[in-house]
Chain A
Amino acid sequence: MSASLASPAAIEALGLEKSYRNLKALRGVSFTVRQGSVFSLLGPNGAGKSTTVKVLATLARPDAGTARVAGRDVLRDPAEVRRAIGYVSQKTAVDLDATAVENLALQGQLHGLRANVLRQRIEGLLDRFGLAQDARRICRTYSGGMLRRLDVAMGLMHRPQVLFLDEPTTGLDPESRQEMWREIGRLGSDEGLTVLLTTHYLEEADALAERVAIVDQGQVVVEGTPDELKSTLLGDTIRVDLKAAVGADRVEQALGERAAELRDLRLDGASLRARAENGERALPGVLAALDAAGLTVSAASVARPSLDDVYLHYTGRTFASAEGDAR
């Protein structure tokens, strides 16, 4: 930990605010990303993740606040920031009328790479992202997963110090997502590259990021390593699936005084969720009590709190319902 504090910050955002007409997209976003780490902004659609990335990538001007990327101020020195960053937006920004080679080449040329470097770099990236076979085909013929991989490769063309990945796996099928995760995991250990990853997949942030900032309604609600965030919630999550949906009063009645050992008891149809200081020890009693009351249990589990629980704890909403609100 002391080593990570010693290394310089690749991204520093301080009090970023931005409004679009009557919508306040950012309400004072602040966070710091250590050089060479993968940092994730996690939040539902419309939380302000993409706007934050756009400000950091010099595409949008904040109404208030400052930010430094790769040691340069994004407002005062945007040209230098652009040299240091790669940006992969939510949309797959690939020219469909060009081949993979042409897309990569243009990206490198605009960053001033010389011809021999350009060629080597293109070959290297095509191999690494499994596109070498199709490198000279028009991108219109590519699958969604191939386009996304090319998109990320384009962001890496000039060996940036900081890479912004705005929802890199949204809309990908599970297989392509796994592949992208492996690739992002590799990026993190790459030559000190710093990655800012936005996502609305809890498990993505959990699996890939060294640190996570949960963003909700234009603010960072909490920030830390996934483990730190989860350990702020004491105890374990117990889940019990009943055979059939029942009313909350029947469950409460069944649990009787055992309910006192449990916190955040929630019943969603046939699925019961609660928190307990020691889940393994609480579960048998809960199961016995339910059984005694004639409620048949079909599955039960004890888990360390997930980022979903953390999100619920800090925002008062489940992740799924926040996603629903945004639509």
Chain B
Amino acid sequence: MSATLQDSVHLVGRRLRPLLRQPVYLAFTLSTPVIWLFLFGQLFRGITVLPGFPSGSYLSFLVPGIVIMTAMLSSGWAGTNYVADMDRGILDRLLVTPTRRVAIVAGDLGTQAITTVVQSLIILGLGLLAGARFPGGVGPAVALLVAAVLVGWSFAALSIAVALLVRRQESIIAIFNFLGLPLSFLSSTLMPAQLMPAWIQAISRFNPISWGVTVGRQLLAPAVAWGTVGSHLLYLLALAAALIALCSAAFGSYQRSA
């Protein structure tokens, strides 16, 4: 077990090193969410006057949504690293070492967790600087980070599974371009559930992005509903576990077809 853990740490190091060497990449991955945050934050600021809108500041309302959305969008790229590793023969080289393949997946999920937390903290910080206020305090902020990591793991695992099965960059990019926007718009990222048309509301209830956003919105509540936080974190945990299982099954299929 400890060898597996050590191996994962070394593999996290391998993935993070290029980011640390060129932090500008991290900035690139943040450029889209930052534009969303400030563009939509400005564009829809008047929306708060709608009856039933849960917050006085649209920016405060938007920040947790952007955190979750960013976790999804940036983790969707995880599979492209795998395709690159497969093309270069690096994955085969890893598989020929005594490392267990669970350590290989864990290395990527660990990397994903670290980048997600860093990105989330940056978005929260920028939100605060721009005037967003979170009466819920530190508790729901931590819950939001956990939710963001779980969302990140789910989509990273899905992306890696697609990479292992399809082995083409184009397919991963197409799938996640196709998924990203609908999942964001059919969720409570931009609009509270009670103000959505009924059909979107119905879809949104089963959308993991909404689950994460629901956890994060507790930042706005003066009294945190921990029951809601707990149940939605559990949904996300179950989803992440299922997709990680799919990912390891995809690994098996990759090796069988080798």
**A and B: interacting chains:** yes
Interface residues of A (CB under 8 A from B): 20, 54, 57-61, 79, 82-83, 85, 87, 89-98, 102, 106-107, 109-112, 154
Contact A93 B92 (CB under 8 A): yes
Interface size on B, residues (CB 8 A): 26
Query: With A102-B14, A110-B99 as given contacts, are A90 and B258 in contact (CB-CB < 8 Å)?
Result: no
**Cβ-closest chain B residue relative to A59:** B258
| Least CB separation from A21: chain B residue | B257
Is there an interface contact between B98 and A87, defined as CB atoms closer than 8 Å?
no
For residue A79, which residues in chain B have a CB less than 8 angstroms away from its CB? 98
Chain A, Cβ-Cβ closest to B103: A110
- Cβ contacts under 8 Å, A98 to chain B: 14, 17-18
Report chain A residues within 8 Å CB of B99. Answer: 110
Residues of A within 8 A of B32 (CB): none
Q: Which residues of B contact A90 (CB under 8 A)?
A: 89
Q: Interface majority SS on A: helix, strand, loop or mixed?
A: loop
**Pair B255/A110 contact, Cβ less than 8 Å:** no
Bound-state CA distance A82–B92 (Å) is 12
Report yes or no: A110 in contact with B88, Cβ–Cβ below 8 A: no
CB distance from A206 to the nearest CB of B (A): 27
Tell me if B88 and A92 are in contact (CB < 8 A). yes
Contacts of A87 in B (CB 8 A): 92-93, 96
For B95, give the chain A residue with the smallest CB separation: A59
A82 contacts B89, C-beta separation under 8 Å: no
B97, closest chain A residue (CB): A110
- Write out the residue numbers on chain B whose beta carbons fall within 8 Å of the beta carbon of A97: 17-18, 21
Contact: B89 with A93, CB < 8 Å? yes
A112 and B3 contact, CB distance less than 8 A: yes
Closest to B93 in A: A93
For the complex formed, measure the closest distance between the CB of A71 and the CB atoms of chain B, giving whole angstroms: 16
| CB atoms of B95 and A106 under 8 A apart | no
* Contact, CB under 8 Å: A57 / B7: no
Most A Cβ at <10 Å: residue of B17, B96, B99:
B96
A-B contacts besides A57-B96, A82-B97, A109-B7, 10 pairs, CB < 8 Å: A83-B98, A87-B96, A90-B89, A91-B89, A95-B88, A98-B18, A106-B11, A111-B97, A111-B98, A112-B3
Contacts of A92 in B (CB 8 A): 88-89
Q: CA separation between A299 and B13, bound complex, in Å? A: 61
CB-based nearest B residue for A91: B89
Whose C-beta in chain B lies nearest to the C-beta of A107? B97
Q: In the complex the two chains form, is A93's CB within 8 Å of B3's CB?
A: no
